[in-house]
Amino acid sequence: MSDLSFFGPAVLGALAFLIRLPGLLRNPRDPLLRAVAMLLLTAAGVFLFGSIPMIAKVNEITGIANISAPLVYSILTAFSGSCIVLLINWRGGSPARIRRATRWCVGTYGLVIVALFGLFALGDAPVERLRDLDTYYANTPYIREMIVLYLVAHTASSLVMTSLCRRWSREVDGELRIGLYLMVFGYLVTVAYDVCKFSAVGARWAGHDWDFLSTDIARPLASVASPFVAIGFGLPLVVQRLKGPWWDWKRHRELGPLWRLLQNLTSDHKSPRVSFFAPPGVRVLQRESDIHDGFLTLNPYFDRGLRDAARADALARGAAPYDAEAYADAIMLTAAKEALLADPGHQVIASSEALQDGPGGDSLDLARISKALRRHSPAGAVIREGVAHAG
């Protein structure tokens, strides 16, 4: 199989880690950021050092035949532990429970890594094997135990992650559930990888040659599993990062009809321009501020009787109470703007001494009022005529 399938994920993992690094440096004690950073770093390491050219290069640089074996196994073990740690922090719970579970996981997988290098040091593997070390040394003392230990640790992690993700997926919905389903599939494929590896090694113990399971099937399975696991972890994080700006843009668009109705009601009031590069949240705040300024300008022209009649008409036609409120507010605002435009000298504003209640009272829903305006636009005379006719 082409090693591009290993180098590509390695590069993507390294880039993702670098993107996360500034946040980690700003908040080095954040356990979730640490878990994400470690997962990305070890994932990149697995694919980088697991590629055949890198395996040969590490052996060559160190001068130790097959030293890449415990190195790759250790990075893979660290990745397995990082997955569990991230899921522990991701799922949440009491800080004490999270710390206890994290320490247990890190300690266990840390001991496995130490044991891997210890067993390799005790064993004898003089012949460099780039693709089939697992099966070639399946009967070599200590090297055999090293291989079995890494496979057991990796299989245990895959089974634990499959179980945890499956159980958690029953409690959540949306993008998190989709991400967990993707991870379940990815880890099931990873279990298939482990089964192939165990089968090939076990065949060697029984005197058979099933090496193709390890060299020709297991490696492609690893490449298939990794995108599902990576996307499963990344999808909820990306969606959560994008959801805020998306909702801000959505609200900004929804407020458009109401904002346009209330724009530049008087010559001495102009809305400040918002930078083209301003984030969506700033744009929403500015648009809401403009709308409330418009309410203050139109306040002397509000016709509460018209609003009450419009609300009663909407309720009589079967509208929900909150929709009837928004409909009535839209009518009153439109009528107030027409009254202001019919008062070029602004005599009403000048003579107004007190403010009356604005649209909707304390339960004002700007987006719903804006939607009512869009649905019934042009709202002025047409709406008032409909209310008068219903009366």
What does the pLDDT look like over 190-247, one tens digit per residue? 999 999 999 999 999 999 999 999 989 998 898 788 888 878 877 877 787 777 788 8
Q: How many CB atoms lie within 10 A of CB 195?
A: 16
Which spans in the chain are helix H? Answer: 4-26, 31-49, 52-62, 68-91, 95-122, 133-136, 143-169, 174-205, 211-212, 219-254, 256-261, 280-298, 304-316, 321-341, 347-351, 366-376, 380-390
User: Average pLDDT for residues 353-358, to the nearest whole number?
Assistant: 58
Whether the Cβ atoms of residue 255 and residue 38 lie closer than 8 Å to each other = no
Distance (Å, whole) CA 120 – CA 233: 33
What average pLDDT does the chain have?
A: 83
Residue 40 predicted with pLDDT over 70: yes
| Phi and psi based region of residue 264 (left: phi greater than 0; alpha: psi -120 to 50; beta: remaining) | left
Q: Which of 143-157, 172-186, 269-283, 286-300 has the lowest mean pLDDT?
A: 269-283
Position 134 scores a pLDDT of 92
Q: Which DSSP state fits 280?
A: H
Contact 92, 168 (CB under 8 A): no
Higher pLDDT, 24 or 336: 336
Residue type at position 152: V
The reported pLDDT for the residue numbered 369 is 85
CA distance 66 to 336: 83
Structure-token pair, residue 345 = 């000298």
φ and ψ of 146, to 5 deg: -65, -45
Q: Which of 19-33, 323-337, 347-361 has the weakest average pLDDT?
A: 347-361
- Tell me what pLDDT residue 280 has: 78
Average pLDDT over residues 28-52: 82
CA pair distance 383, 299, nearest whole angstrom = 19
Query: Which residues neighbour 316 within 8 Å (Cβ) at sequence distance 6 or greater?
Result: 390
Query: In this predicted model, which residue has the larger pLDDT, 312 or 266?
Result: 312
* Res. 169: pLDDT tops 80: yes
